[in-house]
Amino acid sequence: MPDNKPDSLVDNNFTRPIRSFVKREGKLTGGQKNALEQLWPTHGVDLGDQRLDLTELFGRSAPVVLEIGFGNGLSLADMAEAHADMDFFGIEVHRPGVGSCLVQAKKRGLNNIRVSVDDAVLVLNQQIADGSLERVQIFFPDPWHKKRHHKRRLIQPVFVEQLVAKLKPGGKIHVATDWQNYAEYVLAVLSTNENLKNAVADAPLAANFLSPECSVLTDSTLWANGSLTIEESGTIEGTAPVDNPLLTQGCSEKPSYRPDTKYENRGIRLGHGVWDLIFVKEK
């Protein structure tokens, strides 16, 4: 079980100075601690600099779903239980959440879950082979509400390029969020990736997304007339209009495979909406 990782593994030619999370260690419950100790040898994945052999990792050849930021892992365990023919690799930096996911795996006898307790950006970059994933799912990622924090958002154009490389042709990226501004932002980022196609037929073009006057100009400037621009660093800053019917047109129905999650329920209690964005890798 990783705790104090050697520097060589953390840095390893790839630095991401701005992180999408603030690590709050939190106290492990007895059950989480036991589950981490007992199941880590079979269900845990240490950070390394070699590509994982997913067939070896899961002990069989089956479609692999990667979930980033699974929180307490309850919805990941639900999916693994409901889809025994698929394998689920979850990455979550919050150790108690990973412990609680393993509690569920133990309780339900799930052998199709593997977990990592490191930054998904590193795990993806160092350990996941290109063309190996059926689906990447990111449910209710931290929205980083304040504009000055938007650069911390996990979903950025460069990160999406990395995700796309890891997908099989026809593979999917599924993001769900309860924060409208993040939904708009994610829709813009995913729509602008030339290898992705919105799963919604006749979804609005990215160029039309924020307002009819907006258009894609160059790699570094996304919107001509809106307030959203891709900065040199590859991040998007800005806000979109409050009433945005095009957002609804760009979103998918919640698919039956996605269980409600803890953060989703919290958002609903606070009166937030829920947006599911699903894009398919075309080539």
Would you say 139 and 264 are in contact if contact means Cβ atoms under 8 Å apart?
yes
Is residue 40 close enough to count as binding ligand SAM by CB under 6 A? Answer: no
Interacting residue with ligand SAM among 141, 157, 238, 250 (CB under 6 A): 141
Interacting residue with ligand SAM among 173, 261, 276, 281 (CB under 6 A): 261
Q: Strand, coil or helix: what is 34?
A: helix
Cα separation, 30 vs 27, whole angstroms: 9
Residue bearing tokens 């999406």: 160
179 by Cβ neighbours in 10 Å (0-12 / 13-18 / 19+) ranks as: buried
Q: Which residues are catalytic?
A: 142
In the complex, the smallest distance separating the C-beta of residue 215 from ligand SAM, rounded to whole angstroms, is: 32
Cα separation, 109 vs 104, whole angstroms: 8
Q: For residue 202, what are the contacts with CB-CB under 8 A and spacing of at least 6?
A: 249
Toward ligand SAM, which CB reaches closer, 77 or 154?
A: 154
Provide the token pair at 5.
């990782």
Toward ligand SAM, which CB reaches closer, 193 or 261?
A: 261
Interacting residue with ligand SAM among 78, 142, 161, 231 (CB under 6 A): 142
Is residue 209 close enough to count as binding ligand SAM by CB under 6 A? Answer: no
- DSSP code string of 74-95: HHHHHHHHH-TTSEEEEE-S-H
Sole window of 28-36, 126-134, 136-144, 220-228 interacting with ligand SAM (rule: CB under 6 A): 136-144
Interacting residue with ligand SAM among 69, 96, 226, 238 (CB under 6 A): 69
Cα separation, 251 vs 264, whole angstroms: 16
Toward ligand SAM, which CB reaches closer, 87 or 178?
A: 178
In the complex, the smallest distance separating the C-beta of residue 106 from ligand SAM, rounded to whole angstroms, is: 20
| 115: enclosing H helix or E strand | strand 113-116
Provide the token pair at 239.
């806000």
Is residue 90 close enough to count as binding ligand SAM by CB under 6 A? Answer: no
Task: Give me the residue whose beta carbon is nearest to ligand SAM.
Answer: 69
Q: By CB under 6 A, how many residues form the interface with ligand SAM? A: 23
How are beta strands 167-177 and 133-139 bridged, if at all? parallel
Cα separation, 188 vs 137, whole angstroms: 17
In the complex, the smallest distance separating the C-beta of residue 231 from ligand SAM, rounded to whole angstroms, is: 20
Is residue 120 close enough to count as binding ligand SAM by CB under 6 A? Answer: yes
Is residue 276 close enough to count as binding ligand SAM by CB under 6 A? Answer: no
Interacting residue with ligand SAM among 40, 88, 89, 139 (CB under 6 A): 139
Is residue 263 close enough to count as binding ligand SAM by CB under 6 A? Answer: yes
Cα separation, 157 vs 191, whole angstroms: 10
Contact residues: ligand SAM, CB under 6 A? 20-21, 68-71, 91-94, 97, 119-121, 139-142, 154, 261-264
